[in-house]
Amino acid sequence: MFLSLSRYEEGTVGMPYPHVIIVGAGLGGLCLAQGLRRRGIDFCVYERDASLISRGQGYRIHIDTHGDDSLRDALPPELYQLFRATAGVPLSRTPVFDEQLRQLAELEGDGGTHLAVDRLTLRQILLTGVADAVAFGKRFTHYRVGTDGGAVACFDDGTEARGDVIVAADGVNSPVRRQYLPHARVVDTGLRQLYGKVPLTKETRALFPPEMFAVFTPVIGPAKQFIGVAPVEFPEPPRLAARRLAPTAALNDTADYMTVSFGSRRELLPFGDAQLQAMSGAELRSATLRLMEAWHPDVRRIIEHWLPESVFPLALRTSVPIPAWRPTRITLLGDAVHAMSPAGGIGANTALRDAGILAAALEQAADGRPLVETIAAYESAMTGYGFDAVRLSADNGQRMLGQDPLPTS
């Protein structure tokens, strides 16, 4: 038990204002925690998972200029340096191939920042220095308004946490959103994706044409079934970088790899969602190879090198943009409010951008501006660029991958 958590569960008065309850320790929630700590604002983070590695959530994260700026603002200098020291710099362009490895197009980059980072490494960096205020194994069930007008978060173990604001950073299945914005919809895109890793060794590097060491490379087959390829190459081993720059950071020594995913319309797969979830990584790999019998042998060889223990399925979903709502002491960030198709490659960056803007808004509340007024300003900005990103990602997914159109009503 850590002191800041126990104090607020006991309802102690006279603590720094505002005290922020963050539900969820994903990238957005931890980035917000770092930003609040740099500003001297009190907070606690509650995460339902038992640890950072409790379940598969993907591998490579693309960080763009917005994400990089948010991390620079939130992290102490030594942790930001560690982030950059563990971030690879892929080719900025995006080549597009068909299933016979014929190049169809090459999309130029926008000239901004483009980094390739390992999701777990970034979360471990974001946890460094704030772990004293993060409680794992705390499943949020609902909130209520406290007798003092504050917000009370309730958990399935019967405990409660009192604060001045609750921030939903709890992902696409957010129970905070379901209670707070019950009319906000998250819908199935019609796509299923199998995520896996191919370690980059001397042997496996030869499987990938040089053009594939880019921000992202789609290989699009019949019926828009596709392979997505993206590299994670560490400039130096993460543990060595941590020892040099931030010795308190506990990083795994992950080796270079390619994230390789297979995507398909759900009706083209011979398995339903329950069957996919029950299959082992080796079974998922074999099933994918059967679906790719007519693809170029070199593409099949890439899938043959999937690490079986790394392969897991995901049903891809998206939020549906909604009109503005009346601001209160409850607010949201990241996938909890604007989950989007990965076709835009901007979901994580949008969550990091949210965290940076919200931290700055809450600093204004600490300086005396009315709390709900600062939340209103944050939500006005966030829903603008956030729902724009949802629409862009849905349009890209529909055009390139066969995603369902985004509902308009």
Q: Nearest Cα to 22, choosing from 408, 401, 354, 407?
A: 354
CA atoms within 13 A on the CB side of 353: 20
Cα separation of the two ends of the chain: 46
Phi, psi of 309 (to 5 degrees): -70, -10
Count other Cβ atoms within 10 Å, centred on residue 302: 23
Q: Nearest Cα to 125, choosing from 89, 170, 75, 171?
A: 75
CA atoms within 13 A on the CB side of 255: 6
Taking the C-alpha atoms of residue 382 and residue 385, their distance in angstroms, rounded to an integer, is 6
Taking the C-alpha atoms of residue 260 and residue 45, their distance in angstroms, rounded to an integer, is 32
Count other Cβ atoms within 10 Å, centred on residue 202: 6
pTM of the model: 0.94
Taking the C-alpha atoms of residue 361 and residue 375, their distance in angstroms, rounded to an integer, is 7
Task: Look at residue 351 in the predicted model and tell me its pLDDT.
Answer: 98
Q: Classify 54 as helix, strand or coil.
A: coil
Task: Look at residue 107 in the predicted model and tell me its pLDDT.
Answer: 84
Phi, psi of 299 (to 5 degrees): -70, -40
* Token pair belonging to 176: 């905070």
Task: Look at residue 165 in the predicted model and tell me its pLDDT.
Answer: 97
Mean pLDDT by 10 residues, the chain (409 residues): 37 69 98 98 96 77 96 98 97 92 87 92 97 97 89 97 97 97 97 96 94 95 94 95 96 94 96 96 97 96 97 96 97 97 88 98 96 98 97 92 89
Phi, psi of 229 (to 5 degrees): -125, 135
Q: Which residues are within 8 A (CB) of 3 and not within 5 positions of it... i.e. 6 or more apart?
A: none
Task: Look at residue 262 in the predicted model and tell me its pLDDT.
Answer: 97
Phi, psi of 177 (to 5 degrees): -60, -40
Spatial contact of 129 and 43, defined as CB atoms under 8 Å apart: no
For the sheet with 165-168, list strands across it.
134-136, 43-47, 20-23, 165-168, 330-332
Number of DSSP helices (H) and strands (E) in the chain, helices first? 14, 17
Q: Which residues are within 8 A (CB) of 11 and not within 5 positions of it... i.e. 6 or more apart?
A: 162
CA distances from 6 to 12, 15, 132, 190, 403 (A): 9, 12, 11, 44, 46
